[in-house]
Amino acid sequence: MSRLKIRSLFVLTFALVAAHAPNGSATTLREAVSAQDDAKLSGPERLKEELARVGVQKFTDRNYKPGLLRHIVLFRYAADVTAAQKQQVKERFLALQKSRRNGKPYIVSIETGGQNSGEGVDNSLEQAFVVTFQSQGDRNFYVGQPLVSNPRYYDANHQTFKNFVGPLLHKEPLGVLVFDFTIEAIAE
């Protein structure tokens, strides 16, 4: 096969694989194949693979994958949790805004509010928190365990909060729902 045919075949193969990469983000054949493989994984599986590929230092670096990211946390409390305990959860969660990494703030904002929709699809979730970060690296540093196990690379204050709130949440169905997304568009 001639060099021209081989090169043409390579370019065609790359174009086909890259066309199926999320957001058309691939710039090399390796990235295109990796993006296709990543699309088949669940969120936690994809992040574990990514962590293994790039290493914990890069994965939690504040400049890793910049862009505003929202981390939404919804709680369903256990039946015996008191109003005072719920208030303590809110206060302790909001206090995470003061967390620092290398002496500098890294959480853009934390907002909270109780469920008040009348649509009837709240699944008994009671309290929402929205945490905003400037990068996926900041979010990865915040989340820490179970993804990041080295305490040098995660927020110990957040881990302490998770240990505190866990026993207060409903067990079945699960008392917490987390959904993260990087902002792709804002309506004008």
Please check whether residue 55 lies inside any domain of the structure: no
Which parts of the chain fold into alpha helices (H)?
3-19, 29-39, 43-54, 56-59, 83-95, 136-143, 156-165
pLDDT of residue 42: 83
Nearest Cα to Cα of residue 148 among 187, 101, 104? 101
Task: Confirm if 53 and 38 have CB atoms less than 8 A apart.
Answer: no
pLDDT for residue 8: 40
The whole-number pLDDT of residue 35 equals 56
Q: Name the DSSP letter for residue 62.
A: T
Range of the domain at 144: 65-182
Q: Which of 114, 108, 84, 83 is nearest to 96 (CA)?
A: 108
Residue 107 dihedral angles phi and psi, to the nearest 5°: -95, 125
Q: Is residue 47 part of a domain?
A: no
Residue 13 falls within a domain, yes or no? no
Q: What is the mean pLDDT of each run of 10 residues along the chain (188 residues)?
A: 44 39 49 58 89 97 97 97 98 98 96 96 96 98 95 97 97 94 94
User: Domain with 132 in it: what CATH number?
Assistant: 3.30.70.100
Which pLDDT belongs to residue 40? 76
Whether 45 is in a domain gets the answer no
- Residue 6 forms part of a structural domain: no
Residue-level pLDDT at 34: 55
**Residue 166 dihedral angles phi and psi, to the nearest 5°:** -50, -50
Question: If you write DSSP's letter for every residue of 117-165 in order, what string do you get?
Answer: -SSS-STT--EEEEEEEEEHHHHHHHH-TTT---GGGS-HHHHHHHHHH
3-state secondary structure of 69: strand
Q: Give the Å distances, CA to CA, from 140 to 7, 61, 111.
A: 40, 8, 19
Task: Evaluate whether residue 162 is within a structural domain.
Answer: yes
Answer yes or no: is 40 within a domain: no
pLDDT value at residue 181: 96
Q: Is residue 9 part of a domain?
A: no
Q: How far apart are CA 69 and CA 58, in angstroms?
A: 17
3-state secondary structure of 113: strand
Q: How many domains does the chain have?
A: 1
Token readout for 17 is: 């694989």
